[in-house]
A and B are shown apart, each in its own frame.
Chain A
């Protein structure tokens, strides 16, 4: 009985995202961005990065966010070139979409991938069931996915639910750097899911292996094991990033789709 008023005490805590932008700006580091600089002035910056996410060519400096673990070393050492960006809408339909080089409109390939995905998920819109599989995470991704059911993010309000059986799942949410031990279980889980199915690689480890890769029992991301539809960088991706990725994967975002 004491729980009834307790549950009402603080009113509604839940975000309105994705229907409306969320006002909460924690200043947390969503991604690293590159300032427009002369590439010559930035020569040598690629050696700063522990995961080789920085690429320098004759004309440009770019970051592969799929490799970036957001350690912030480049921001500390070269604040003239790199800075943190607080935005959390970092998911992409294409692995190449995680490169910072293009503020251009999505190219043909990305548009085709997105159209194909939206076609496949048409039937799901307001009832999506997620199966999560840990393929070698460090444990933090599971916390952030678990946070999606707390009162702040409350993913059920969108008609999205976590399910125990892959047979009931529409969406496979994979974390971790794809260990060789999880190769078989991950493939079998994917095969057990009915069509249409969507795969989200959640976190830098799942996208590229992060700093844990290369190693004798990990691969460079889950893309080597199952076909990935949506790539979410972040180490780990914040609950908002995950919410954005899931909502864009199932076509809930009309105009604000991923890059």
Chain B
């Protein structure tokens, strides 16, 4: 049995020739579409190892690679699929027409060895591999086995401009941060450009999905971006449920919303904590750190895990909340009361605001062209909130949050958007907890058989729209297109530096607050 499912609303699959891909995507952008992302997949070979024909097929030179680009019109996704047959590697670059594809085509080049013709700068991004010959490893392919080492000599080292030099910042840098290397280009104090090298912590998670059965895939999804476990698990579970043409019990849907919103609050607080640390606001840092700790303890009290892992299962959740709704709601109210007081003091502290104002500006037209996601988009006047444009799960029954939107595009706007989203998330979590008391709650999970087919789903992770598209064959993940908001948004990081200086760096990074594991893949 083969079927296609989407978690809500609609999507359409469109086959195009590789030569037309860029033109079609650009055409949809001209009609008001938003560039969502791009990826490649290569099914590899699934017949037995003893088969002579299959061994030959395993050679990349005659293999097929699928290129996929996604464009969104509000909550409607158009999925453009292109087939590169017989080991074909060249195709006309999409970036040449749609600049937002810049990072995506570099990633595809790293992992699949494809060569977009006319791409402005095809430097390695997530996994540098030198050479382009037939022996070049293609680690993203399903049939690539064995270890592959990144080769840092494949990285571009030169800079252009009078008096410009580079300062490497990372990978081991001060503070407790995820690993990344920034190559800061400067001629003194100003930073005209920053190059991002996330490859050091590239784990190959997308390739790893292809080894797993559907249940194990949910466990891995929780660890793609460990600070957004609930969003990932929910997205994947909803994709599977759509494929099986079923839905989780209503109580489980509400429970997923409770944890997704608590996760959002914790993520936004983490961004603010880093702002406070950078600005030397010691008391605010301690207060918000305590608030974040309380949110995570509330998650643990409700489901047994501080990050909500193990809660979302295919077909529902692992069981009823471990804490009574009344207690949970009073804990929420206590957190909100303290946060309101602390944040109102923080946002009237001039020495804090001065550090964020007009720092790291992303102009609205640039954010709009790129299709910036989540709080970063909303701070630059671009709202792509999946909860409103494409409501799914229990969001269909809850009053969705009013758009918190600004258009200054600086770190301060991003801070304000996050503050408003924390309020909205606490409301939503409280409302979902209240609804839990009024719905039938005898079953928390339905046994779900996953048929073969293709499914997609989108959820609003704390960082923005998170997209899973996957193919299932015989209860296993056979193909995966996964687009994290962290990856999409971080491509804008370099543009945020115009006119900023070294001491602004910490605030720009904190106001992006991406999960670097989700960027590196």
Contact = CB atoms under 8 A, between A and B. Distances in A.
Interface of A: 2-4, 6-7, 10, 13, 24, 26-29, 50, 69-73, 76, 84, 131-147, 149-152, 162, 164-166, 176-177, 179-182, 185, 189, 205, 210-212, 215-218, 235-236, 238
Contact of A143 (B139, B216, B227, B297): B227
B178 A212 contact: no
B353 to A, nearest CB: 14
B202 interface: yes
Among A84, A140, A166, A176, find the residue whose CB has the most chain B CB atoms closer than 10 A. A140
Given A7-B283, A29-B310, A70-B309, 8 more contacts: A3-B281, A27-B301, A28-B300, A133-B179, A145-B176, A147-B293, A180-B148, A212-B208
B199 interface: yes
Nearest to B128: A181
A179 B301 CA distance: 33
A137 to B, nearest CB: 7
A177 B205 CA distance: 12
28 contacts: A3-B284, A26-B297, A71-B309, A72-B310, A73-B215, A131-B172, A134-B201, A136-B201, A137-B517, A138-B226, A138-B517, A139-B227, A139-B517, A142-B178, A144-B306, A147-B292, A150-B293, A151-B286, A164-B173, A164-B175, A166-B172, A179-B201, A181-B202, A189-B172, A216-B146, A217-B148, A218-B204, A235-B309
Given A134-B177, A139-B515, A179 B304 contact: no
Given A134-B177, A142-B178, A179-B203, A3 B300 contact: no
Contact of B204 (A4, A135, A140, A217): A217
**In the A-B complex, the 9 residue pairs with the closest CB atoms:** A138-B226, A140-B226, A164-B174, A150-B289, A181-B200, A28-B300, A3-B283, A50-B216, A134-B179
B498 interface: no
Contact of B150 (A29, A134, A152, A217): A217
A219 to B, nearest CB: 8
Nearest to A145: B176
Contacts of A6: 283, 287, 341-342, 345
A184 to B, nearest CB: 8
Nearest to A186: B172
B229 interface: yes
Interface stretch (B49-57, B62-70, B217-225, B236-244): B217-225
A144 B297 CA distance: 12
A150 B292 contact: yes
A211 B219 contact: yes
B226 to A, nearest CB: 3
Nearest to B270: A143
Nearest to A7: B283
Contacts of A164: 173-175
Max chain B Cβ within 10 angstroms of own Cβ: one of A3, A139, A210: A139
Given A7-B283, A211-B223, A216 B201 contact: no
A180 B290 CA distance: 36
Given A136-B203, A215-B204, A69 B219 contact: yes
B223 A134 contact: no
B107 to A, nearest CB: 14
Contacts of B80: none
B452 to A, nearest CB: 21
B201 A26 contact: no
A3 B352 CA distance: 12
Contacts of B349: 2-3
A27 B300 CA distance: 7
Interface string B116-145: 000000000001000000000101000011
Contacts of A177: 203
Contact of B306 (A28, A69, A133, A176): A28
A71 B322 CA distance: 16
B220 A179 contact: no
B357 interface: no
A212 B223 contact: yes
Interface string B278-320: 0001011011011011001100110011110110000000100
Given A135-B201, A150-B292, A72 B149 contact: no
A132 B293 CA distance: 20
B207 interface: yes
B260 to A, nearest CB: 16
Contacts of B137: 216
A182 B148 contact: no
B307 A236 contact: yes
B128 to A, nearest CB: 9
A176 B223 CA distance: 11
Contacts of B188: none
A163 B322 CA distance: 39
A139 B219 contact: no
A149 B289 contact: yes
